[in-house]
Amino acid sequence: MTKPLSDYDSRASNTIPAAVGQGVPVVWMNPRYRNTAEILPTLPFSIVDVENTEKRWRCFDPLLARLFAELETGRIDSPLLSLDPSSRRRIAGNDDGAVLVKADHALPITGCIKARGGVYEVLAYAETVALEAGLLSPGENYACLAEPGVRELFAKHSIAVGSTGNLGFSVGVMGRALGFKVEVHMSHDAKDWKKRRLRDIGATVVEHPGDYGSAVAAARASFLDKSCAHFIDDEDSIALFLGYAAAAYDLERQLAALRIPVDSAHPLYVYLPCGVGGAPGGVTFGLKLLFGDVVHPVFVEPVASPCMLAQLATGIDRSVSVYDIGLDNHTAADGLAVARASMLVARTVGELVEAVVTVPDDELFLWLGDLWRESNLRLEPSAASGFAAAQRFCAATPGLGGNDRATHVIWTTGGALLPEAEFQEALSRARALAKAADR
Ligand SMILES: Cc1ncc(COP(=O)(O)O)c(C=O)c1O
C-alpha cells in the first residue's frame, strides 16, 4: 500500500542539521517538499478514501449522540477561534493577518485531537464486529450499536493500543462506552493522571519500562493472532490516518463560514504538533487534497524529540530514532515524546510537509501561561507548541511576518480535560519562567 521506496531520493540521506542533534531549535525547510499535483497521484490513498471516511463518520452520529449527552448532533468537532490581538501580533507581526486556533484541545468527549483517529477506529471495529454477527445491517440506524444485546457481543472482544496517553484515552472512552474490554499499553514515565483517568473508566493499563515506542511494540506483540481482539497501531494504522484526515472538511467548512479566502494570493499556514505523526500527517493529507499547494503544513516537535524531522531528513528507506542522533527524548510535551516516527506517515506525507519547527520546552510553558491569561485557552504543553513554532516560522520566513493576506491556523491538540492540579503546576512553571525572563 505504501509508496515504493525507489521513488525516493536516497542520495539525500544523512542530512539532519547538526543543530538538531544538539537540541537547538530549528526551522527546517523540507528539501523533499513537492507540488501536490505531482505527489498525490502517487500515494496509496486518495480523496475517495477520505470522502468514504467522512461518510462513515456521519453514520455513527446517531450512536454518538445516544451515548454522549454532550454530543447533541453526534459530530465530534471543535471550534475555529480567533487569537487575542497581542498573541496575534507576536506571531504574524501585524494586526491584520488572520491567526486562528483550531481548538481540538476542547474536542468533545476526550479533549484531544487523537479522538479523531482513535474514536473512529473503535467505531469502525464495532461496525465490523456487529455486521459479522448479523446484529447490524447496512443502512440501519447505527444507534442500535448501543443496544444491550450488541453490548454483550462487544464485551467478548478486546481492543488494545499503545499510547503516550491521549490516544489511549480516546480509545478507552469510546471502547468502554460500547462495552469492549480495553487494554492501554503505556511507557513507565507516561503521566500518572493519564493512567488514572483510564483506570477510572474501566480500561486496563499495562505499564512498560521503556519509552512509548517499546510500549507500542509490546502491545502489538501481545495481540498478535489473538482472537476476538483488535490492536490499534498508532505507528501503522490506515484507519487512524484517515480518521484524522477527515478533519480537513471541518476546517474547510469553518474557513468558508468566516469568509476567509484560501487561494494563491491568500496562503494558509497550518501548524501541527507532531508525535508519531499520525494526527498531523492525516490532517496534512486531508488539507492537501482539499486545498492543494496553497496550504503549507508545518509540523512542530520538541527539541528533544524531533523524530519526524530526523526521519524526513534521513529519507524514508530506513527508520531512524532521535536516540541515534544523541537526543534523550525527554520533554514535558508528553504527547510528542516519541523517538521514532511512523513510517506509514513519513512515506505518505513526507513530500507534503513544508517544514518542521523544533521548540524548547520553556517556550511551551510561556505560551501556555500567556494563552490562558489572554485567550482563556486551557492547553497542555504539547498543544501550546504550535504557537512557539508559528512565531519562529514567521520570523524566519522572508515576506511572511507582516503579510496580511496569509492565514495561520494553529492546531491546539489537547488540554481541556487536564486535571486542575496539573494545569496549576504548568501555570506556575510558566510564571517562574516569565519572571526569570523579566517579562
Ligand atoms: C496533545 C497531543 N498533541 C499532539 C499529538 C501528536 O499526535 P501524533 O502522535 O499522532 O503525531 C499527541 C499524541 O498523542 C497529543 O497527545
The rounded distance, in Å, linking the Cα atoms of 190 and 410 is 25
C-beta neighbour count of 9 within 10 angstroms: 11
112 pLDDT exceeds 70? Answer: yes
Residues shown for the chain:
439
Q: Which residue's C-alpha comes closest to atom 14 of ligand 1?
A: 335
- Grid look-up 491568500 returns 266
The rounded distance, in Å, linking the Cα atoms of 439 and 437 is 6
C-alpha of residue 176 to centroid of ligand 1, in Å: 21
Q: Which residue's C-alpha comes closest to atom 1 of ligand 1?
A: 414
Average pLDDT rounded to a whole number, residues 405-433:
96
Percent of the chain with pLDDT over 70: 96
**pLDDT single digits (tens) 52-85:** 999 999 999 999 999 999 999 999 999 999 998 8
Query: Are the beta carbons of 322 and 306 closer than 8 angstroms?
Result: yes
Q: Which residue's C-alpha comes closest to atom 16 of ligand 1?
A: 335
Instruction: From 98, 81, 80, select the one nearest 408 (Cα to Cα).
Output: 98
CATH number listed for the domain at residues 19-47+76-110+245-436: 3.40.50.1100
87 pLDDT exceeds 80? Answer: yes
9 pLDDT exceeds 80? Answer: no
Rg over alpha carbons for the chain, rounded to the nearest Å, is 21
Instruction: From 111, 109, 206, 115, select the one nearest 161 (Cα to Cα).
Output: 206
Asked if the domains 19-47+76-110+245-436 and 114-240 are classified in one and the same CATH topology, the answer is yes
The rounded distance, in Å, linking the Cα atoms of 9 and 350 is 12
Q: Which of 167, 343, 353 to mutate to test the pocket of ligand 1 (most atoms within 8 A of CB)?
A: 167
Q: Looking at residue 70, what DSSP letter applies?
A: T
C-beta neighbour count of 33 within 10 angstroms: 17
C-alpha of residue 86 to centroid of ligand 1, in Å: 27
Ligand 1 atom nearest 308 alpha carbon: 11
Q: Which residue's C-alpha comes closest to atom 3 of ligand 1?
A: 413
Chain centroid offset of residue 54 CA: 17
Cell of 42: 502517487
Q: How confident is the model at residue 8 (pLDDT cuts 50, 70, 90)?
A: very low
Q: How confident is the model at residue 190 (pLDDT cuts 50, 70, 90)?
A: confident
Average pLDDT rounded to a whole number, residues 158-176:
95
Which residue ranges have their beta carbon within 6 Å of ligand 1?
A: 112-114, 164, 166-167, 273-280, 335-336, 380, 382-383, 413-414
Instruction: From 329, 390, 423, 430, select the one nearest 111 (Cα to Cα).
Output: 423
Q: Looking at residue 51, what DSSP letter applies?
A: H
Task: Report DSSP letters for 114-165, one per residue.
Answer: HHHHHHHHHHHHHHHHHHHTTS--TTS-GGGGGSHHHHHHHTT-EEEEEESS
| Domain-wise residue ranges, the chain | 19-47+76-110+245-436, 114-240
Burial class (CB in 10 A: 0-12, 13-18, 19+), 216: buried
Query: Are the beta carbons of 430 and 368 closer than 8 angstroms?
Result: yes
Q: Looking at residue 3, what DSSP letter applies?
A: P
Average pLDDT rounded to a whole number, residues 313-342:
94
Cell of 4: 515504493
Cell of 281: 500527517
Q: Strand 98-103 relative to strand 80-82: parallel, antiparallel, unpaired?
A: antiparallel
Q: Which of 107, 312, 334, 382 to mutate to test the pocket of ligand 1 (most atoms within 8 A of CB)?
A: 382
Query: Are the beta carbons of 347 and 3 closer than 8 angstroms?
Result: yes
Any idea what the Cα angle at residue 170 is, between residues 430 and 308, rounded to 5°?
Answer: 65
2 pLDDT exceeds 70? Answer: no
**pLDDT single digits (tens) 11-59:** 344 589 999 999 999 999 999 999 999 999 999 999 999 999 999 999 9
CATH number listed for the domain at residues 114-240: 3.40.50.1100
186 pLDDT exceeds 90? Answer: yes
C-alpha of residue 191 to centroid of ligand 1, in Å: 14
Cell of 132: 459479522
Instruction: From 409, 218, 182, 152, select the one nearest 296 (Cα to Cα).
Output: 409
The rounded distance, in Å, linking the Cα atoms of 357 and 375 is 23
C-alpha of residue 335 to centroid of ligand 1, in Å: 5
**pLDDT single digits (tens) 348-365:** 999 999 999 999 999 999
The rounded distance, in Å, linking the Cα atoms of 84 and 410 is 13
Q: What is the mean pLDDT of the chain?
A: 93
Q: Strand 355-359 relative to strand 27-29: parallel, antiparallel, unpaired?
A: antiparallel
Phi/psi zone of residue 333: left (φ > 0), alpha (ψ -120 to 50 degrees), beta? Answer: beta
Cell of 168: 489511549
Per-residue HEC secondary structure of 220-245 comes to HHHHCCCCCEEEECCCCCHHHHHHHH
Q: Is 399 helix (H, G, I), strand (E, B) or coil?
A: coil
Residues pairing with 32 in the sheet: none
